[in-house]
Amino acid sequence: MMHTDHDGEAAIAALRGATALSLAQPLRTGIPCSPNHPGFRLSLTRRHGDSVRADGGSAAAEMIVTGGHVGTHMDAPAHVSHHGLLHGGVDAQEAQRGGRFSVLGIDTVAPIAGRGVLLDVPRLVHGVDRLDAAHAIGPDELRAAADAAGVTVGAGDTVMVRTGWAQLWDDPVAFLGHESGVPGVTADGAAWLAERGVRATGSDTTAYEHLAPGAGHSLLPAHRVLLVEAGVPIMEMLQLERLSALRTAAFGLVVAPLPIEGGTGSPINPIALVAS
């Protein structure tokens, strides 16, 4: 299909009237991090004044150490297996030979440019600012949030599920919620989204999942449903508070993982394009 200059002009005009809003948490040493992954570290390897050019110029640079599932990030289908199999029945052991995944890695997840949908469960379903710890979000609450917002979740949508948990970002113990539990989507809730053909889904918590008190990441059934059974990428640790404050349920969305060959996840900076 050939696209004309007029098509490009129309797209640019639509973008001019939108507010670009980052849905990513800041990256810095000490941010909350799942115990299953290495934490984020940044260190200057070169400082201004270490070397000064003949014209007086100087440069600084850093080294960054992080896991693929640290901060706001996306999980690739290769991230989780069930009974030794990845999405599509791929043998996980065989796929990971050589130290990286030959299939289903984060480099195979295409950039997203489409409609985002915010399901603001605490505000729209319960009339509160943040869900209680270990609150389970099933299909009834997802449907209720969509109905209250006046949106229909459809094929190709990227669905963000807000719990309000991002309010705890600066308190890593509370955010990770090992003892208290963490609110999140149940396996049935994940299946409800997958049945509607969503392009991807994400939440503002450490693992997207409903985590029971003291259970940590011992079981991840929503990951099984989304990544293994449906092949739907998951985004975690989103910053959804600013989006919620705008009372916007549907918006333009652009998300691109880093092209890390054979990786199981990647940091992302999702951009919501909200009509002014």
CATH, domain range 5-25+68-275: 3.50.30.50
The pLDDT value recorded for residue 5 is 53
Q: Quote the pLDDT of residue 74.
A: 98
Distances in whole angstroms, Cα of residue 35 to Cα of each of 150, 216, 240: 38, 9, 23
Domain boundaries, the chain: 5-25+68-275
Q: Kindly report the pTM of this predicted structure.
A: 0.92
With the C-alpha atoms ordered 233, 234, 239, 245, is the resulting torsion angle positive or negative? positive
pLDDT score, position 156: 97
What pLDDT is attached to residue 9?
A: 63
pLDDT along the chain (276 residues), means of 10: 52 73 96 92 96 95 96 98 98 97 98 97 97 97 98 97 98 94 97 98 96 84 98 98 95 97 98 90
118 close to 192: Cβ distance less than 8 angstroms: no
Amino acid 217: pLDDT:
77
Predicted local confidence at residue 8, as pLDDT: 53
